[in-house]
Amino acid sequence: MSEPTAETKSVMTLPREEVVSPLTGEPIVQYQGVTKTFGDLEVIKGIDLALYPGEKMALIGPSGSGKTTLGRMLMTLEEPTTGTILIDGEPLWQMKTSSGKLVRANEKHLRRMRQKIGMVFQHFNLFPHLSVLRNVTLAPMSVLGLSKEEAYQRAVEMLTKVGLQDKLGEYPSRLSGGQKQRVAIARALVMQPKVMVFDEVTSALDPELVGEVLEVIKEIAIDSDMAMMLITHEMDFARDIADRVIFGAEGRIVEQGSPEAIFEQPESERLQSFLKRFR
């Protein structure tokens, strides 16, 4: 077991709200006092969290702890009950009127903000009637207004990055689950988002296909200076890829720190017993 460095140790012992990423600069994403309630169930119980430029953050925790809900609020799929999420310093779920008043965001504001966020889900949601290439060029053309040539060029670059350069004309039904997920990753990357959210992207895959998808994500993480939030049940993956690991349980952040701190020196009993399941 490796000794924690002075840096990881200090991160581990700071109170939660004072913990900062090892990376610096203005955060790309900030959750400020965010809560989420479904009916009587308070799923997110006041989260303060910042994601920094270039940072790769892994969210781990037991099933039902609220990881996906946290991601979905950033992906504009669930509105926080209270609190604020900022992207690049701008509120996601609120917008300023011409008189400077902060009001609930309308669809136009959300659509603009959504362009900053790349999303990859457990289910690939590809268009079955479109080829791989058309699946990836669609949004750059319709949302960003790129020409067919520009969109094609970007799409081929991204499909090459995920190892699918020989599948451009193929239809999704003729691809494996791992290949479909790689198309979904290329489709998100092609929009050149500020932050990528990967929400349990290997959970629906046959076990033998998990590795190829994780490998592609790892390569992207190493290659790119994009911020990433990775919601995952794959502990080895989190350990390999993340600059910082967040352990959440029952709607709160219980512990956070470097992968070494979280996986080798877990402090809380909750995290210790969670990790035992993976040994």
Ligand X SMILES: Nc1ncnc2c1ncn2[C@@H]1O[C@H](COP(=O)(O)OP(=O)(O)OP(=O)(O)O)[C@@H](O)[C@H]1O
DSSP assigned state of 5: P
**Helix, strand, coil distribution of the chain in percent, nearest 5:** 40, 25, 35
Apex 57 CA angle, 83 and 69, nearest 5: 40
Specify the residue, 152 or 274, whose C-beta has the smaller distance to ligand X: 274
- Looking at beta carbons only, is 39 or 145 nearer to ligand X? 39
Taking the C-alpha atoms of residue 240 and residue 56, their distance in angstroms, rounded to an integer, is 10
Which of 2, 63, 97, 106 forms a contact with ligand X (CB under 6 A)? 63
Q: Cβ 69 to ligand X, closest distance in Å?
A: 3
Of these, 8, 65, 76, 137, which contacts ligand X (CB under 6 A)? 65
127 binding ligand X? (CB under 6 A)? no
CA distances, 196 to each of 18, 222, 258, 263, 274 (Å):
24, 14, 20, 24, 26
Stretch that binds ligand X, among 62-70, 90-98, 254-262, 263-271 (CB under 6 A): 62-70
Q: Whose Cβ is closer to ligand X: residue 43's or residue 185's?
A: 43
* Exposure string over 217-243, b if 16+ CB within 10 A, otherwise e: beebbeeeebbbbbbbebbebbbebbb
Of the pair 30, 69, the CB lying nearest ligand X is at 69
Going residue by residue from 190 to 209, which x/- string records binding to ligand X, judged by CB under 6 A?
----------x---------
CA gap 268, 256 in Å, rounded: 10
Phi, psi of 18 (to 5 degrees): -100, -5
Q: Which amino acid is located at 153 in the chain?
A: Q
Q: Is 67 in the site for ligand X (CB under 6 A)?
A: yes
* 71: helix, strand or coil: helix
Pick the closer one to ligand X by CB: 22 or 64. Answer: 64
**Least distance to ligand X, CB of residue 151, Å:** 33
Per-residue mark of binding to ligand X, 14-43 (x: CB under 6 A): ------------------------x--x-x
- How many residues form the binding site for ligand X (CB under 6 A)? 12
Q: x/- contact string, 42-61, with ligand X (CB under 6 A)? A: -x-----------------x
Backbone angles phi, psi at 261, to 5 degrees: -65, -45
Q: Which residues bind ligand X (CB under 6 A)?
A: 38, 41, 43, 61, 63-69, 200
